[in-house]
Amino acid sequence: MAEAAIPQSVSSPAPEKFLPLGKVSFFRRFWASYSAAILTVGAIVIAGVLWEIEARYIKLVPAYLIPPMSEILAKLWTDTISGEIPFQLAWSLKNYAIGYLIGAGLAIPLGLGMGTFQALNKLLSPYVWILYVLPRIALLPIAIIAMGFGPEAKILFIAMACFFQVIIPTVAGVVTVPASLLKVGRLFGGSRIQVYRKVVLPYALNFIITGLRLAARTGLMVMYSTELFGSIRGIATYSIREAALFHTDGVFAGLIVITLLAVVLVSVIDILDEKLRPWKNEVSF
Amino acid sequence: METAMQSTDSNVLVPALEQPLPPPTRWQAFRTRYGTLIVTITNISLFCVLWQILQGGPTPVIDTRWIPAPLSIINAIITTTVRGSLIDNFVFSATTYSLGFIVTILLGIPVGVFLGLNKDVRNVAQTFVWIGYSTPTVAILPILTVIMGFGVDAKVALVALSTFFPVAINILNGIATIDPVLLKAGRVFGANRWQLFTKITLPALLPWTLTGLRIASRRGLTAVIVAELFGSIRGLGFMVRLEADRFQSAKSYAAIVMLCVIALILLNGLEWIEKKATPWRAKPKF
């Protein structure tokens, strides 16, 4: 309606801003393509330099609390070379991977089942909701007393976090398939199974992938916070130990490792998602 | 489409494609109104009874130190409420949480809007906010504890930090995706920069901010609990840990039930506010 009201015949001369590409100066083109990357890298470098200056000369916060950036990077380097950080990180990541696989592996079939069968949905959804809303981390002390400081409790919590992050979008995906699509499928002579395979599953796939993405991020957070409380090994344990020894450079080194890990993981997933699923429409949570 | 199909034109001798439904009988009306509720309540009650039978008897299936029977949890809730420990710890946690959240609302939202206004500043800020959003914020807890100690301020700082990033990332996204046509239309109608900001940018940001706050409320709750588990002398998280260490797990479940209630109220309350404040936005419920 609104579009129809706009007269289509009016043709204005192109505004001067949109010159053909050849006439734009090299610098402008360069800036247009890379400004975000340049500004980001520049900002990170400047932040690091300011940190260094603050810790060495200004000292708003005593240097034993926030050490200079160079010392943090040096500590990061030595501990990586000595194998300490990779060793701890590998232990954490193993739990993370196992937990993620268990959680997502259970959530997808169960979610599809709950979305498809009304009765199952009615039976299980109250529990899924309660456990989803409950801040599950509060159960950690009991789980640790029951299971010990080993990997079992961590895997359980990572699996739970991933499970709920995946199952809720999965159910929502199956339930919210537009009725018109289902009708079209039936109209064109698809059997129930065919409609399910060719309409419902591709539609729900979007939601499932969104859930898997969210789970990757949440699982990482849970991995860290479960280790924080008490653990035999792990990257968070490394940070805690360094903090207890007042080696704040080690704490910041651990923080850098976990930040890098999260950023790399999330961006790899996002890029893969972009490449493999170009048709996606954003499902926001 | 749907309405066009349903309309029955008496002059045309074509039957309506879809007959209007007959008015519901009293039983049907009752079922549509209360059916789900009744099924859910029956479902949960049966589950609790089963749980009580399995765990409450002399030979529980799982050690009652890990999973106590529901009646003993209710008993523990009553005892701890009467003695006051549940209420005390609740007040402490709620204060910490609200202080952190207020810091985010008062400082975080303006900072987010301010960072978003210029395109280049926004690009840089987006990266930092995105890094902050992707990393587990609780990773800063050891540093905060070393700097600020085991008092309230470290916990408030942690809550503020973990709630800031979801809010900020949503605001920055919101500013980046404002429809440029709206801004141009504003300019055409003679709005100055301030008017553009107050009449177009801010209303467009409202739903984004509310979504950010909803996500932040969950993260903030987790942050409070982790901070109290990790090092604290009061609070619900501390209570869970203390009672678990004393093998009085019914009492720690009492605290967990309390946390669950808080989470439910928070989440539903924020969802309700979101619905009331942005009625034009029909959101699918997840």
Q: Compute how many other C-beta atoms are within 10 angstroms of the C-beta atom of residue B24.
A: 12
Q: Please check whether residue B286 lies inside any domain of the structure.
A: no
* SS3 readout for B42-95: HHHHHHHHHHHHHHHCCCCCCCCCCCCCHHHHHHHHHHHHHHCHHHHHHHHHHH
Q: Are residues B42 and B111 in the same domain?
A: no
Tell me if A259 and B44 make a contact (CB, 8 A cut-off): no
**Mean of the per-residue pLDDT values of chain B:** 85
Q: How many angstroms separate the CA atoms of A208 and B21, rounded?
A: 36
Tell me if A134 and B256 make a contact (CB, 8 A cut-off): yes
Distance of residue B260 Cα from the nearest chain A Cα, in angstroms: 5
- Residue A102: pLDDT band by 50, 70, 90 thresholds? very high
- Residue B14: pLDDT band by 50, 70, 90 thresholds? low
Tell me if A228 and B230 make a contact (CB, 8 A cut-off): yes
- Residue A7: pLDDT band by 50, 70, 90 thresholds? very low
Distance of residue B209 Cα from the nearest chain A Cα, in angstroms: 13
Q: What mean pLDDT do residues B20-34 have?
A: 82
Q: Please check whether residue B268 lies inside any domain of the structure.
A: yes
Give the residue numbers spanning the domain of A183. Answer: 72-276
Tokens of B195: 């008017």
Tell which wins on pLDDT, A86 or B36: A86
pLDDT for res A246: 83
Distance of residue B182 Cα from the nearest chain A Cα, in angstroms: 14
pLDDT for res B4: 45
Range ranked top by mean pLDDT from A47-51, A96-100, A263-267, B216-220: A96-100
Q: Are residues B161 and B25 in the same domain?
A: no
Q: Please check whether residue B68 lies inside any domain of the structure.
A: no
Q: Are residues B87 and B206 in the same domain?
A: yes
The pLDDT tens digits for A54-65 are: 888 887 878 788
Q: What mean pLDDT do residues A88-107 have?
A: 94
Q: Are residues B97 and B195 in the same domain?
A: yes
The pLDDT tens digits for A127-136 are: 998 888 888 8
Query: Is A226 touching B (CB cutoff 8 A)?
Result: no
Q: B123: domain CATH number?
A: 1.10.3720.10
Give the residue numbers spanning the domain of B222. Answer: 78-277
Which distant-in-sequence residues (6+ apart) come within 8 Å of B214 by Cβ? Answer: B267, B270, B271, B274
Q: What mean pLDDT do residues A107-114 have?
A: 94
Q: How many angstroms separate the CA atoms of B134 and B148, rounded?
A: 24
Q: Are residues B236 and B111 in the same domain?
A: yes
Distance of residue A217 Cα from the nearest chain B Cα, in angstroms: 7
pLDDT for res A3: 39
Q: What mean pLDDT do residues A90-100 have?
A: 94
Q: Please check whether residue A208 lies inside any domain of the structure.
A: yes
Q: A159: domain CATH number?
A: 1.10.3720.10
How many domains are contained in chain B? Answer: 2
**What percent of chain B clears pLDDT 70, i.e. is strictly above it?**
92
Residues 25-84 of B with CB under 8 A from A: 36, 39-40, 43-44, 47, 63, 65-66
Q: Please check whether residue A264 lies inside any domain of the structure.
A: yes
- Residue A129 near residue A122, CB atoms below 8 Å: no
Q: Does the pLDDT at position B276 exceed 80? A: yes
pLDDT for res A2: 39
How many domains are contained in chain A? Answer: 1
Tokens of B40: 């859910």
pLDDT for res A4: 40
**Mean of the per-residue pLDDT values of chain A:** 84
pLDDT for res A89: 92
Tell which wins on pLDDT, A57 or A167: A167
Query: Is B127 touching A (CB cutoff 8 A)?
Result: yes
Query: Is A176 touching B (CB cutoff 8 A)?
Result: yes
Q: What mean pLDDT do residues A63-82 have?
A: 88
Q: Are residues B128 and B171 in the same domain?
A: yes
Q: Please check whether residue A192 lies inside any domain of the structure.
A: yes
Q: Does the pLDDT at position A95 exceed 90? A: yes
Q: What mean pLDDT do residues A167-196 have?
A: 89
Q: How many angstroms separate the CA atoms of A257 and A277, rounded?
A: 29
Q: Are residues B100 and B134 in the same domain?
A: yes
Distance of residue A146 Cα from the nearest chain B Cα, in angstroms: 6
Q: Please check whether residue A248 lies inside any domain of the structure.
A: yes
Query: Is A255 touching B (CB cutoff 8 A)?
Result: yes
Q: Please check whether residue B55 lies inside any domain of the structure.
A: yes
Q: Are residues B23 and B92 in the same domain?
A: no
Query: Is A135 touching B (CB cutoff 8 A)?
Result: yes
Q: Please check whether residue A155 lies inside any domain of the structure.
A: yes
Which run of H or E residues covers position B133?
helix B119-134
Query: Is A64 touching B (CB cutoff 8 A)?
Result: no
- Reported ipTM: the value is 0.79
Least-confidence region, from A3-17, A126-140, A147-161, B182-196: A3-17
Q: Does the pLDDT at position A285 exceed 60? A: no
Q: Please check whether residue A113 lies inside any domain of the structure.
A: yes
Q: Please check whether residue B107 lies inside any domain of the structure.
A: yes
Distance of residue B241 Cα from the nearest chain A Cα, in angstroms: 5
Q: What mean pLDDT do residues A152-181 have?
A: 92
Q: Does the pLDDT at position B259 exceed 60? A: yes
Q: Are residues B35 and B143 in the same domain?
A: no
DSSP designation for B178: S
The pLDDT tens digits for B49-85 are: 998 888 887 778 788 788 888 888 999 999 989 988 8
Q: Are residues B180 and B51 in the same domain?
A: no
Q: How many angstroms separate the CA atoms of A143 and B175, rounded?
A: 43
Chain B residue closest in CA terms to A240: B142
Q: Are residues B120 and B174 in the same domain?
A: yes
Q: How many angstroms separate the CA atoms of B117 and B63, rounded?
A: 58
- Residue B237 near residue B228, CB atoms below 8 Å: yes
Q: Please check whether residue B282 lies inside any domain of the structure.
A: no
Q: Please check whether residue A12 lies inside any domain of the structure.
A: no
Q: Please check whether residue A172 lies inside any domain of the structure.
A: yes
Query: Is A163 touching B (CB cutoff 8 A)?
Result: no
Q: How many angstroms separate the CA atoms of A168 and A161, rounded?
A: 11
- Residue B285: pLDDT band by 50, 70, 90 thresholds? very low
- Residue B286: pLDDT band by 50, 70, 90 thresholds? very low
Q: Quickly count helices (H) and strands (E) in chain B.
A: 13, 0
Q: Does the pLDDT at position B16 exceed 90? A: no
- Residue B234 near residue B89, CB atoms below 8 Å: yes
Q: How many angstroms separate the CA atoms of B82 and A187, rounded?
A: 64
Least-confidence region, from B17-26, B48-57, B108-117: B17-26
pLDDT for res A239: 87
Q: Does the pLDDT at position A9 exceed 70? A: no
> Hey, of A46, A88, A180, A221, which one would you mutate to test binding to chain B, going by the most B CBs within 10 A of its CB?
A221
Which distant-in-sequence residues (6+ apart) come within 8 Å of A271 by Cβ? Answer: none
pLDDT for res B15: 63
Query: Is A268 touching B (CB cutoff 8 A)?
Result: no
Tell me if B226 and A225 make a contact (CB, 8 A cut-off): yes
Chain A residue closest in CA terms to B221: A135
By the 10 Å C-beta count (0-12 exposed, 13-18 middle, 19+ buried), A212 is classed as: buried
Query: Is A115 touching B (CB cutoff 8 A)?
Result: no
Q: Are residues B221 and B174 in the same domain?
A: yes
Q: Does the pLDDT at position A11 exceed 80? A: no
Tell me if A263 and B131 make a contact (CB, 8 A cut-off): yes
Q: Please check whether residue B234 lies inside any domain of the structure.
A: yes
Query: How many contacts (CB atoms, under 8 Å) link A and B?
Result: 142
Tell me if B259 and A135 make a contact (CB, 8 A cut-off): yes
Tell which wins on pLDDT, A14 or B259: B259
Tell me if B139 and A133 make a contact (CB, 8 A cut-off): no
Q: What mean pLDDT do residues B102-123 have?
A: 89
By the 10 Å C-beta count (0-12 exposed, 13-18 middle, 19+ buried), A273 is classed as: middle
